[in-house]
Chains A and B, each alone.
Chain A
Amino acid sequence: MRGVSRASDAGGREHLCWAFTDLDAFTARARDFLADGLAAGQRVCLVAPGDRDGWVERLRDLPGFDRPGAVAVRSLDGLYGRGAVVDPLGQVDTYAAETDQAVAEGFTGLRVAVEATDLVRTPAQLAAFARYEHVVDRYMAAHPFRAMCAYSAPELGTDVIAKLASLHPRGNVEPLPFRLHGWGASGTVALDGELDLRSHELFPWALRHAGAHWDGEVVIDARELGFVDHHGLLDLDEYATRRGLSVVLRTRRFSAARVADLLGVDSVRVEQVA
């Protein structure tokens, strides 16, 4: 896949979208993810459906497990009712408070691995969780909070997985045409990859959910966007117009500014940057 990850982000902040095929694969990846957090002095937390004690046992041999307060395990079964729809802003507030608390207690931050399949099964759940993913992603870009959002590919299907993956800066879902995510200490919006025929359906969906909590002027850092066709520009303009937003698209592409000018888009300003 071309250009969907920022080279400068390698080894940087982690908000992973991880599609798995069976529970063992999820467990192995979650252990690695949390072990990295413990090694970095973070408080870590596993959230997954099923028996809490069973999960504790699967993590017990991780280095750093015995540090007081370092490892938390929560069963998803007890956290939400069946079919529960996440409250995007409320959930981010919760993690923000927990991140602050972890730092106050001497940890370098908070790192959470979530087996979130049960939270995105219905269209209403998926819509709310997608909005949450973008808000929390922008929070993570600016705060010491890291997360791995794991989803069962066999249970959700490739379409839902691609939708969720498009709202994460990194992950194991390939190929993916673009990623719409948070970036930098100020929680800027970033757009990487390519917007063309492969994203004609996915991009409007991602935009609608990621943009749900945008307001005023939104600067999109699109320096790593290798291509945008006129559909992408019109999608952006139509969405911004409908929401009363003013979008600034910062891109390296000469043609993006040319086409935006030809189309006469009103709510998107394309700035060519180095």
Chain B
Amino acid sequence: MTAPDPTTRGYDHVALCYADDRELLASAVPFIAGGVERGDAVMIALEPARAEVLLNAVDQPDAVTVLAIGAQYARPAGAIKSYSDLFTKLVTDGAQAVRLIGELPAPVLATAWDVWARYEAAVNYAFDRFPVSTLCAYDARTTPPAVLDDVAKTHSLLASPDGNHTPNPTYVDPPSFLARTRPTTPHPVQLRAPALELVDPAPGDARRAVVAANAGTLGPDALDDLVMSVSEIVTNALRYGLGPRRLRLWVGVGHLVVTVHDAGPGPADPFAGLLPKAGHDGGGYGLWIAHQLCDHVTLDRDASGFTVRLTMGDPHQAV
């Protein structure tokens, strides 16, 4: 395959692992130029400096929409929703196809890749209803090898230095990729004993415990979002999990970490949390809402059961 066919609905998810600006431009410039030429909606979501390099290299920079990456890549489930909303609007407004070049902010590759790896797998499914091509840029000089390994499993196409896109032989279908289990790295604050532990709390008890423990650590809106998320996750544990359900809470500088563990297997849906589930039974919405509202969410499965970890604030501040 040398170029995505914009007349065919469906998602082309292309990984671009570049070694320098020359390689970035070699793939990105023809991708953008081809899109502009066709009249596609063309967008970039890159660090400002890198966006400038790219815009200086294309013929019609005014035809390119620049998205703010801070907002766009704040949370994986939020990115799926906002991109889906954006693609829907563009197509509704008449765009025949959409081309997007994006690059995750460097810090999330180091501290939140677990959940962004799930994002990269889930979008193959979530965006497949749109005539969209995305070029996901990763700087091979600074991206950790483990991240590059996941990138190679989650993108259906690879960008070649000559600008072509070829099928990726190491691509893993999303449900298989998402079904893997990897232990979550504890946040620094979790190396201490939790400030609070509740066994089989009612959702209201859990909410009040979080509010009491916060003691001004989070601002009111962030606290309200965390309380909502905790309530939803505890509700899921009570409705669908197996006892005992155990809530643990840690208070760090400017952040709160809450884990909710139950002895059950967790949701069977591999996309749980990243995509909302239609209908309002089954627990899909609660996990999705937590992913939308919290700064970082991880899901863990091991022999003892299923654990959701909710983080609000920056867990890498001094504790």
Contact = CB atoms under 8 A, between A and B. Distances in A.
Interface of A: 2, 194, 196-198, 227, 229-231, 234, 238, 253-255, 258-259, 262-263
Contacts of A194: 204
13 contacts: A196-B231, A196-B235, A197-B203, A227-B231, A229-B232, A230-B285, A230-B286, A231-B280, A234-B280, A238-B280, A253-B224, A258-B228, A263-B285
A262 B81 contact: yes
A253 B227 CA distance: 11
Given A197-B202, A230-B280, A254-B220, A262 B289 contact: yes
B293 interface: yes
Which among B204, B224, B238 has the greatest number of chain A C-beta atoms within 10 A?
A: B204
A146 B268 CA distance: 53
B204 A254 contact: no
Given A2-B204, A230-B280, A262-B289, A197 B239 contact: yes
Given A197-B202, A197-B238, A230 B232 contact: yes
The 9 A-B pairs at the shortest CB distance, nearest first, are namely A255-B228, A255-B224, A254-B224, A234-B280, A196-B203, A197-B235, A197-B203, A254-B221, A230-B285
Interface string B285-317: 110010011000000000000000000000000
Nearest to A196: B203
Contacts of B227: 227, 255
Given A227-B204, A254-B220, A254-B225, 15 more contacts: A2-B204, A196-B203, A196-B204, A196-B231, A197-B202, A198-B204, A227-B227, A229-B203, A229-B235, A230-B285, A230-B289, A234-B285, A258-B228, A259-B228, A262-B289
B240 to A, nearest CB: 12
Contact of B207 (A227, A234, A254): A227
A231 B280 CA distance: 7
A198 B289 contact: no
A2 B81 CA distance: 35
Contacts of A253: 224
Contacts of A227: 204, 207, 227, 231
Which among B227, B239, B280, B293 has the greatest number of chain A C-beta atoms within 10 A?
A: B280
Contacts of B286: 229-230
Contacts of A2: 204
A229 to B, nearest CB: 6
Nearest to A228: B228
Contacts of A196: 203-204, 231, 235
A162 to B, nearest CB: 16
B203 to A, nearest CB: 5
A262 B225 CA distance: 12
A196 B220 CA distance: 20
Nearest to A235: B280
A43 to B, nearest CB: 42
Given A230-B280, A231-B280, A254-B221, A198 B231 contact: no
Contact of B202 (A198, A231, A254, A255): A198
Interface string B216-238: 00001100110110011001001
A258 B232 contact: no
Contacts of A234: 280, 285
A230 B293 CA distance: 13
A196 B81 CA distance: 25
A84 to B, nearest CB: 37
Which among A229, A231, A238 has the greatest number of chain B C-beta atoms within 10 A?
A: A229
A258 B293 contact: yes
A255 B204 contact: no
Interface string B239-281: 1000000000000000000000000000000000000000010
Contacts of B293: 255, 258-259
B228 A229 contact: yes
A141 to B, nearest CB: 27
A231 B238 CA distance: 15
Contacts of B207: 227
Contacts of A258: 225, 228, 293
Contacts of B280: 230-231, 234, 238
Interface in B10-36: none
Interface string B182-221: 0000000000000000000011100100000000000011
Which among A2, A194, A255, A263 has the greatest number of chain B C-beta atoms within 10 A?
A: A255
Nearest to A238: B280
